[in-house]
Amino acid sequence: MKPAVEVNFDGLIGPSHNYGGLSDGNLASARNSGDVSNPREAAVQGLEKMRSLVRAGLVQGVLPPLPRPNFDLLVSAGFTGSDTQIIEAAARQAPRLLKAAYSASSMWTANAATVSPSADTSDGLLHFTPANLSTMLHRSLEHPDTTASLISIFAGDHRFAVHAALPAHPDFSDEGAANHVRLCAEHGARGVELFVYGRDAAESVAGFPARQTRLAAESVARSHGLDPARTVIVRQAKRAIEAGAFHNDVVCVGALDTLFFHEAAFEDTAATLEALRRAGDGLFDLKPVMVPEAEVPLEDAIRSYLFNSQLLQFPDEDRLVLVAPLEAKETASTARFCEQMVAGNGPIGRVEFVDVRQSMRNGGGPACLRLRVVMTEDELAECHSGVILDEELIDELQAAVRRTYRDRLSPEDLADPSFADECRVAREELLKILELEDLA
């Protein structure tokens, strides 16, 4: 076994972060639709979260924001002329489309791709499949640029395999790592990959959209060369989706041998745990931490985003640390549960609360903001080093954000054509700092 570390690649929140109300089934996005956002504060909050993990001694990466507005979308919708003409006409005739073109949703990198570490794959490569995100228009725009970012950062086909996104058809709806959990004894060891889907390909589900199909999960597992005996594919509870858990990571997070989840997360909890135990046989002893409905009602879990936390092994700490959103401290039932949990002798020994409110108001907690990539020393040495953060680099990025980002943005402001230039300039500064100018 080659030792490996888990690197969290957070999405650097882009200058057009706004509350567009674009995500049906995402209660926070609907609740805050039309509010004034603060892109500068959002990006600073995200970078502060990254800083706290760097300080804890973890390896932290970052993925750059994507180019916004996405003019390709507006041109595909028939808008022509100069950039100014396109934006002015879209603002008048199709304001929702303009919001989609401006969405900063690529910040939620848990949806950027599904990642399988080299310890799990048949060819020994580290595999990525960018998610097609085909359920939501604004998110479906991400994957071509996300693929380009991943190819720039993980270049070298003797170590990395960056696949094409699955076909952009509802049968293949894929939301990436938000519906994927890897369990193992230690990061570098062979693991079990758990995929959670919301519907079968041909099935039509009433109510809020089920964004992940079983076919998408199976396809990714096949192309990553995962061992079927070490792969578990289970269904998310319909009730959880209906209550607002549009991704499994709103009700479940796992790390190493620990699975932390709400009682209502899976359609069949007993069968899920049994399948995980069978798949992990000889590799690790599963430690399930199930939060009962009687202690934390599903609605509180979803409102507080308790499960949308990062579950991390800090150097020099025996038990895992849950990096949770502040909202989980402010919600009585989840705060109480956290206190009891750490006082017990289970696998989670500490909870740290972080302020990512700007993102939370669009339904994105600490776990949404990061893509986990387990990497061996050789893989880490070979990926683009400009995106691996230390505090100095974080300071530089924050200074650029403070220089170039607005601190007030309402969806109506997107109609101003000069905002497009502002976004371009801000992104180019960030790309320069990250030595990723090729993506400009």
Q: Which two tokens stand for residue 136?
A: 């939501």
Task: Tell me the pairing of strands 4-11 and 287-291.
Answer: unpaired
183 by Cβ neighbours in 10 Å (0-12 / 13-18 / 19+) ranks as buried
* By the rule CB under 6 A, 252 interacts with ligand SUG: no
For 10, residues 6+ apart whose C-beta sits below 8 A from its C-beta are 46, 49, 50, 60, 61, 62, 63, 109, 369, 370, 371
Nearest to 234 by CA among 248, 250, 251: 248
**Cα–Cα distance for residue pair 365/311, rounded to 1 Å:** 13
Q: Interface residues for ligand SUG in 53-112 (CB under 6 A)?
A: 103, 105, 108, 110-111
Q: Which two tokens stand for residue 332?
A: 């009585």
Chain centroid to CA 332: 26
Residue number, 139 or 214, with CB nearest to ligand SUG: 139
Residue 197 binding ligand SUG, by CB under 6 A:
no
- Asked if 366 touches ligand SUG (CB under 6 A), the answer is no
132 binds ligand SUG per the rule CB under 6 A: no
| Residue 26 sits in the site that holds ligand SUG (CB under 6 A) | yes
Q: Cβ 114 to ligand SUG, closest distance in Å?
A: 12
Q: Of 335, 347, 248, whose CA–CA distance to 289 is shortest?
A: 347
One of 7, 250, 279, 321 touching ligand SUG (CB under 6 A): 250
Measured from the CB atom, the residue of 149 and 359 that comes closer to ligand SUG is: 359
Q: Of 105 and 149, which CB lies nearer to ligand SUG in the complex structure?
A: 105
How far apart, in whole angstroms, are the C-alpha atoms of residue 171 and residue 158?
A: 31
- Give the nearest distance from C-beta 95 to ligand SUG in angstroms: 13
- CB of 432: closest distance to ligand SUG in angstroms? 27
Residue 364 CB, nearest distance to ligand SUG (Å)? 4
In this structure, what are the phi and psi dihedrals at residue 236, rounded to the nearest 5 degrees?
Answer: -75, 145
The encoded tokens of residue 368 equal 């949404």
# residues near ligand SUG by CB under 6 A: 23
Shorter beta-carbon distance to ligand SUG: residue 243 or 433: 243
Known catalytic membership, residue 48: no
Stretch that binds ligand SUG, among 200-208, 281-289, 362-370, 414-422 (CB under 6 A): 362-370
For the question of residue 247 being annotated catalytic, the response is yes
Contacts of residue 282, Cβ cutoff 8 Å, sequence gap at least 6: none
By CB under 6 A, is residue 368 in contact with ligand SUG? yes
Binding of ligand SUG by 183 (CB under 6 A):
no
Residues that bind ligand SUG (CB under 6 A): 19-23, 26, 29, 103, 105, 108, 110-111, 136, 139, 178, 246-247, 249-250, 362-364, 368
Residues labelled as active-site residues: 175, 247, 368
